[in-house]
Amino acid sequence: MVNGECIECGKHIDLADAEEGELVTCPECGTEMEVVSLTPPSLEPAPPEEEDWGE
């Protein structure tokens, strides 16, 4: 079981199926974070949206 911790509210976040570089959202407080590492699990604030982002 790989767990991370929300950087805002501290809630445990299940990272068992996560990928490094993945965007995850805290189910408790809605904070968006990036999984920067799985070994050890580490979450950082998601990069802020930029003007040329899109599809």
Partner 1 sequence: MLYSIIRVEEKLLIRAAEKMGLEMEKIDDRECIFGLSNDIWHYDVVLERCISHSKALYALKFLNEYGIKTVNTYDVAACCGDKAFTSIAFEKNGIPTPKTFVAFEPESAIKAIERIGYPAVMKPVVGSWGRLLAKIDTRNTAEAIIEHKEVLGSYLHQIYYVQEFVDKPQRDIRAFVVGDETICAVYRESAHWITNTARGAKTVECKVTDELNDLCVRAAHAVGGGIIAVDVMETKSGAYTVHEANYTMEFRNSIVPTGIDIPAKILEYVVGVAKR
- The reply to whether 51 sits near partner 1 by the rule CB under 8 A is yes
| Whole-angstrom Cα Rg for the chain | 11
Provide the token pair at 50: 């930029």
Cβ 16 to partner 1, closest distance in Å? Answer: 13
Candidate segments 4-12, 18-26, 37-45, binder of partner 1 by CB under 8 A: 18-26
22 binds partner 1 (CB under 8 A): yes
Residue 30 binds to partner 1 (criterion: CB under 8 A): no
CA dist 33 → 13, 36, 44 (Å): 11, 9, 5
